[in-house]
Amino acid sequence: MIGRFATLGVYRELFVFRDFQVCLAGGGLALAGYLWEVFGPVWAWPVLVLYAGSIGLNGGPIIWGAIQGLLERRVNVDELVSLALIACLIQGELLTAAVVAFIMTLGTLIEEATSDSARRSIHELMRVAPRTALLLDGDGQREIAVRDIAPNDLLLVKPGDRIPVDARIVSGASALDESAITGESLPVTKSEGDEVLAGTLNHNGVLRIRAEKVGEDTLLGRVIRLVGEAEQHKPLATRFIDRYAAWFTPVILGLAGLVWYWSGDWSRAVSVLIAGCPCALIMAAPTATVAAVGRLARAGVLVKGGRYLEQASKVDALLFDKTGTLTSGRPRVEEVRADAGCTPEEVLACAACVEQDVSHPLARAVLKAAQYARITVDKATEVVAEVGRGVRAVVRGRHIEVGGAALDTGPGAGAGSLPPDLRTCLETIQARGATPLLVYRDQHPIGVIGVSDTIRSEAAQTMHRLRNLGISHLGILSGDHDRSVRRVAEQLGITWTRAGLKPDQKLEELRRLQEAGHKVMVVGDGINDAPALARANVGVAMGAAGTDVALETADIVLTRDDISRLPLLIRLSRKMLTVIKINVVLGLSFNALAIWGGAAGILGPIQAAVMHNVGAVIVVFSSAALAMGKDDDQEERNAT
């Protein structure tokens, strides 16, 4: 029971009000037995019954936990308390056994209740998920369970309701409260064509939405699942403490035996057994990790495990993808230039047909431009996205390919075949820092589309804060052309850039930095970022705009694409390690002091139990402080 603190996930099963009722009932029986023994008639059997009931209620689960551990060939601290209780029973000290069992159990519940505040924000996420939704079926509507919603279902969301699944608005407009999911405190206005997230609150509009992701595939589902899994990925500090605790029980047993041999006083040996329980030490890292993970989840940063926070604390280099990461991810088409014999509408139509099933921000810009131009988008077949080159497909029997400048310079049919006017247009687009998209039909160039994006409003201040945190190396790894990358870098004060990179080239640049001794964090959002996210010491994906591949590969996800949360992530990861170190010192200090007091006869078994639990509660409060801070930007400004 007590030894289960090494795995905080047991709190879900442990912490119910009934546990406190049983514990207090056991304490009440011990008190009644003591009062009967002092003031009642001289009858032994009622005292024995009351003490036995108290020991059974509070000591029984501890002894049973020790037996289970032994059967599983796993030694934990329950054995120490169990031996102490059994020693008290053998010596006839029933009151001591009952009080020790009560104090240890009550301390366990108090520590658990305190630690549970660290995961409260995660439980809140589970509560915001609605259970039912209104399905639009024909001319009517009917209520169905959220679990029965399928992709492409048309749903109705009324004011005051929560969005049941990740979806896209078909009609209507409203202000949505996304604070529970993204950490954004202000309502966000959404209208036709915008994406909406499961669990967000619809304030004032009637929305018709089409389901896109359901169940665990929604962002809310991933947050709940991945934060739940975060405890399984312990930081190195936790694994070190686990190994240390494994040796702790045999050492304490041996020390208790020596104290008994040296002093001849069984109560001193029992006190050493109780004081030697390393609960505070075992809880040092898990409580701090869960507190930090819960705090970041509330701020819109999803961390998949404690070890990734530990790695984030050591980062001294940050590399960013450009499009959708440092830029807003909402680019727009500025111009469309067609070759002789084609029209701009024809060029845009070909590109939109190929890009309609692609999630990249540039593809969305092309589709939106086609929609505004009222261009019919035909169905494409044999769609293939070649990372670092572009997308190709068959539209009405003709082969269409859309991609960046690499299409003209790289290998393949049609490369180097741009006519002079299209080449001039390509160079002009690049010169002003925009991104060109080349469109080929049957391996012949038919036009160029110029797409521009704006730098995120928070990017410049974020770079400033990262530098103040001691991040010595800020850089951009991008597949876009050099002029566009350098334009963004100059505005953000970044001097290290690498442009025109394919995924394998990004990996090579990343490898060079790591071999030079840097601990590298990579931030990106696309399929072409996935290899770098996996190879980096810490990979961070943009949650709202990111592809599924990037989200699954990354170690950390920014649920609302807010890179201004990166300084908070790094500062909190460093605080977490500091708190773990403080907790370890506190845990060892309380254990050493209590063991010395028990061995010297200063602390009896009951006093040793009290001191043991005081140390554990202090460690838990130390960790819980990580989850208590504010999440607004003012804290970050004060830190810089």
Give catalytic residue positions. 321
Q: With contact defined as beta carbons under 8 Å apart, do 134 and 156 qualify? A: yes
DSSP output for 49-75: HHHHHHIIIIIHHHHHHHHHHHHTT--
Question: What span, in angstroms and rounded, lies between the C-alpha atoms of 434 and 425?
Answer: 11
Angstrom distances, CA of residue 218 to CA of 121, 181, 200, 224, 551: 18, 11, 12, 10, 12
Angstrom distances, CA of residue 486 to CA of 36, 440, 470: 85, 27, 23
Q: Which two tokens stand for residue 22?
A: 């049983």
Host H or E run for residue 347? helix 344-355
As beta bridge partners, residue 398 has 395
Q: Are strands 188-190 and 301-303 parallel, antiparallel or unpaired?
A: unpaired
User: Which one-letter amino acid corresponds to residue 37?
Assistant: E
Query: Which segments of 183-313 are extended strands (E)?
Result: 188-190, 195-196, 201-202, 207-213, 301-303
φ, ψ (nearest 5 deg) of residue 83 = -65, -40
Question: What span, in angstroms and rounded, lies between the C-alpha atoms of 245 and 166?
Answer: 44
Largest CA distance in the chain: 114
Question: What span, in angstroms and rounded, lies between the C-alpha atoms of 119 and 423?
Answer: 57
Question: What span, in angstroms and rounded, lies between the C-alpha atoms of 93 and 87?
Answer: 9
Q: Scanning the structure block, which residue is given the tokens 């389901």? A: 211
Q: Which two tokens stand for residue 146?
A: 């959220």
Question: What span, in angstroms and rounded, lies between the C-alpha atoms of 380 and 165?
Answer: 28
Host H or E run for residue 82? helix 78-90
Choose among 560, 313, 362: nearest CA to 478. Answer: 362
Choose among 375, 272, 197: nearest CA to 605. Answer: 272
The arrangement of strands across the sheet holding 174-177 comes to: 188-190, 174-177, 201-202
Burial class (CB in 10 A: 0-12, 13-18, 19+), 185: exposed
> Helices (DSSP H) in 373-523: which residue ranges?
406-409, 420-431, 459-468, 482-492, 503-515
Q: Using the 8-state DSSP alphabet, how is residue 324 labeled?
A: I
Q: How many CB atoms lie within 10 A of CB 545?
A: 23
Choose among 153, 160, 152: nearest CA to 176. Answer: 160
As beta bridge partners, residue 140 has 137
Q: Scanning the structure block, which residue is given the tokens 């804290």? A: 635
As beta bridge partners, residue 207 has 157
DSSP reduced 3-state for 453 = coil
Choose among 112, 117, 120, 96: nearest CA to 19. Answer: 112
Q: With contact defined as beta carbons under 8 Å apart, do 620 and 112 qualify? A: no
